[in-house]
Chains A and B, each alone.
Chain A
Amino acid sequence: MTDNRESRFIAAARAALDHSAQQLDEQTIARLRAARRQALAARPRRTTWLAAGGLATAALAASVVAFLLFAPAAAPPVTGLDQFDLLSDNDGLELYRDLEFYRWLAERADAV
């Protein structure tokens, strides 16, 4: 009974939120469209050997810190050269901090 009421509440809330998203003003919609086009026009970051070297150093440092903090618990391994571009700027560094997320993402991809 409680679950049914909660389900109805969630459904009503979702409908109200969908409605609010559909009722955005024209200016906001135009700015979102422009933001999307600008993002799509951006070139993907390419891995450079300089960035790869930076990542290798940072990954080594992160591994040491993780080992010191969490030993004897096993730290998630840093694998995959495709992660190297993460350290090519500050955005990548910020995202790279949470290695657990990438492990989760990899597990999720394997499960699909």
Chain B
Amino acid sequence: MVNYSQPQPDLDRVFATLADPTRRAILAQLAQVESLSVSALAEPFAIKLPAVMKHLDVLGAAGLITRNKRGRTVDVRLSARPLRGASEWLRDYERFWSPALDRLVAHAERKEAELRAVKRRRKPR
């Protein structure tokens, strides 16, 4: 059941942030390790460091990553909690609509079979 009484702060922002493929790729990289420096993180991407920094700012604002300055490097870590909120929203709605649509399919297919049976009976021999 979709629980509407629970507030889900920042969820719009999380979805908006995930809409960008580069940001999803950054998160996928971070999911595999404890933490990465900004330059290590930027390495596989065909974009310049300032562009990566811009993406990290967006990810940080959505609460999806945390950044810690350590000496001259900045460590980036995945922060999974907002992602869980986003997937819960989808899961709750999917749990509501998916069985309903399955019943819709069964209902429409039954109606189709009935219609065909009626047409067969009406067909002159």
A and B associate in one complex = no
Q: Which residues of A contact B (CB under 8 A)?
A: none
Q: Which residues of B contact A (CB under 8 A)?
A: none
